[in-house]
Amino acid sequence: MFSVTDKVVLVTGGGSGIGLATVKRMLAAGAAVAFCNRSDHSELAGRLGATFIRADVSDEEQVRALMSQVSDRLGPIDVLVNNAGVWDFDCPITTGDTGAFRRDHEVNVMGTVYC
């Protein structure tokens, strides 16, 4: 099985849910972990012993800065977990309002591409 001991792991959307569970699991397995989120989770990162960098994965420039900061602080990224995702249940495509749909696409698809 693949070991993450002494590896650098970056988890996008690591502030809650599956992302947070992944951060905790990677830390327990001996990885140096960084995670990002749109909202501030620096206090949580401090409690966990992880590195937090605030970033929106739908913004290509923020992703470039994120990758650079993780590499500068922890070393080259060995494992990337593209976990960040959103879903707006109030944006049926049939309504003609594509703004929410576009936001979902930017995070869920382009965020992965940018990373």
> With contact defined as beta carbons under 8 Å apart, do 37 and 17 qualify?
no
**To which H or E segment does residue 96 belong?**
none
> Could you confirm whether domain 8-84 is CATH 3.40.50.720?
yes
The pLDDT value recorded for residue 90 is: 65
45 or 86: which leads in pLDDT: 45
Could you give the CA distance from residue 42 to residue 10 in angstroms, rounded to a whole number?
15
pLDDT for residue 96 is more than 80: no
Average pLDDT over residues 74-91: 87
pLDDT for residue 99 is more than 90: no
The pLDDT value recorded for residue 4 is: 95
Every domain of the chain and the residues it spans: 8-84
In this structure, what token pair is assigned to residue 89? 């249940």
Global pTM reads 0.89
Average pLDDT over residues 22-36: 98
3 state SS for 21-36: HHHHHHHHCCCEEEEE
Q: How far is CA 99 from the centre of its chain?
A: 22
| 74 Cβ contact list (under 8 Å, min separation 6) | 8, 32, 34, 51
The pLDDT value recorded for residue 113 is: 85
